Every structure is written in structure tokens, then in C-alpha cells.
Amino acid sequence: MSLLSRALVTTLPLVPKAAVGKVASRYVAGETLEEAVAAIRRLNGLGAMATVDVLGEEVTEREKAEAAVAEYERVLAAIEAGGLDANVSIKLTMLGLEIDRGFCRDNVERLARAAAERGNFVRIDMEDATTTDATLAIYRELQPRLGNLGVVLQAYMRRTLADLDTLPAEGANVRLCKGIYIEPRRIAWKGYETVRRNFVSALAKMLRRGVYAAIATHDEYLVCEARALLDEHAVPRERYEFQMLLGVDEQLRDILISEGHRMRIYVPYGTDWYPYSIRRLRENPEVARHVMKATLGRAFGRNSGRTRGAADHGFTSGGPKAARPPEDGASSGGRR
């Protein structure tokens, strides 16, 4: 990342919320479930599936965790009522992981059962390293009993290849992404090409073990490598999918759909759109540069043109620690 880009990332909190809001529409479906449903319907019309994320994290009050569960139940009901091709993605810190692990596990089970009643699926998002052990433990406990849960592994974590060996022998379903949380070097790979290499190694191991692969990336090199591995292992179409963020590299999305690959788009919504959008901009300094240019242009009475930007490198709603620059391997953390 250039010095200018680093400076822009640092000054993002100074950008007016209204300016961020204009960019937010690229990444966020809206503040309401109705807006999310409309976005999903548009994506379904393009041949893409969706996974819905209610924005928010790090709940420390039981009432808020229970409210999040209730909102996800509303999402599942809306998906069924609308005949939509979509599932949900959840964050355990939003469901009470930091309050009590048993309480959180029960909330996950409640949602998984609500989804199962509707023939649907729940993806457990991965958060920062302090939650990894608990996240995987809950997944390993519930998936063999319930059968409609998936989890996320991050290629930039040094432990990922070993974590694959701990997943349920049957029915494992993994979204593989690069990873976006700021973690120390002792537990996370730092080189961009190193993270790419580990991504490919992890995907190859998943396919050898028969794990359902949700390949979450906007990196065309990784898409190319994934296609080669899928061909090498003769993976049937129903045993994998590609995943991308809402509003990111729509041309690549359309290319993959036209080639017959299943594609799922991550659709976030909620009143917490502002911190989510700031994280998207931090991951994509080119977009941040255009936002800052437009903001300054208005301040000095100049028309700086429309905000445009390069493809995003991230794949997670992230959290307060999620501010990794692309050079360090950013791009996380996702019915499958």
C-alpha cells in the first residue's frame, strides 16, 4: 500500500457519513430486511444465489443476542415466503459468544433448526483469532447432529491446514477465504503470495477430503487455480460454489455464472452499515481515494466526478480489528 493510500485509510473516519453512505449502497443492501429481499431477488434474477448477513457483532447483553436470533428467524421466514435462493451467515459474537459459550451454542442450534424446518442452511462466519477455537468447537459439536451448518476457514491463518483435519468426517461444508483480521505474524502468514499459496493448498486439501467448497474470492488468479483444481478432482457442480461480496467485480461474477458455476453473493443489511462500509473502504484504498476526492471537490465547489474504485479484496463483514491492507493478504471473514 502506498504512503498516500495509507494516509487516506487513516483519515477515513473524517469523511462525512453522507459521503460514505453513497458508497455504502455498493456493498450494503440497505437498512431493512425488505431492502435485502429486493437485492436477493435481483441477484436471483441474474442467476446468483445469496447469503444474508445482519450487520452487527460483539454483543455483550443477552437481550441483544436474542434480538439478533429473532431477526435471523425473520430473514429465514422471508426467504421461504419469497421463494428466494438464499441462506444466512451468522457471527457468533453477535449471538452471545462473549457472554456464554453454551448460550451462544443454543442460539446457533435454534437458528439451524429454524433453517432446517425450511430446508435451508446456516453459515457460521469466522471472526478474529480469539474466537477461532470456540467457533470450530461449536461447529464440530452441532454439525453432525443437525447437518445444515457450514463454517469459514481463513487461508492467511497458519493453523488452517491442520484445522481441516478436525472437521466432521462427513458433511463438512467450508467457506474458504483469505482472511482480513489483523493478527500477529506468529499465527498468520503475512506475504500476499504466501497467503495465495496457502489458499490453493487448503482448497486442494478440502477437495481431496470431499469437503463442500464455498470458494470466496475476488482474486482472478485464485479463481483460475480453483477452476483447475475442480477439474483435476472432477468435482460435480453441486459440490462447490464461488462466493463474492455484493457490488464487487460484477463482471467476474457474471463470467463465472455464464460458465455454469454456482455463485453466491454476500448480502449484508442493517443499521450498522456505516462501520461495515468503513471497513470496505479500508480494504480498498482506491475507492477511498475517489471518496476523498469527491468530498474535497464538494468542499471547494468543484465537481470531482462519480466515485469509482478497483475490485475489493475483502470477504467478511469483519469487526473492530478488521483493517488489514490488501498487501498483507486481505480478503476474508458465508442453502450452503
Beta 86-90 vs 212-216: how paired, if at all? unpaired
Which triple of cell numbers denotes residue 336? 450452503
Strand partners, 268: 53
Burial class (CB in 10 A: 0-12, 13-18, 19+), 150: buried
Q: Which are the contacts of 317, defined by CB distance < 8 A and separation ≥ 6? A: 53, 55, 57, 91, 125, 266, 268, 276, 279, 333
53 is catalytic: no
d(CA 274, CA 18): 10
d(CA 206, CA 213): 7
Alpha helices in the chain, H assignment, sequence order: 3-11, 17-27, 33-45, 62-82, 101-117, 132-146, 160-164, 192-208, 220-232, 250-258, 273-283, 285-299
Axis crossing angle, helix 17-27 with helix 285-299, rounded to the nearest 10: 140
Choose the catalytic residue: 26, 105, 123, 175. 175
125 is catalytic: yes
d(CA 64, CA 59): 6
Grouping H, G, I as helix, E, B as strand and the rest as coil, residue 179 is strand
Choose the catalytic residue: 53, 105, 123, 125. 125
Contact 329, 190 (CB under 8 A): yes
List the catalytic residues: 125, 175
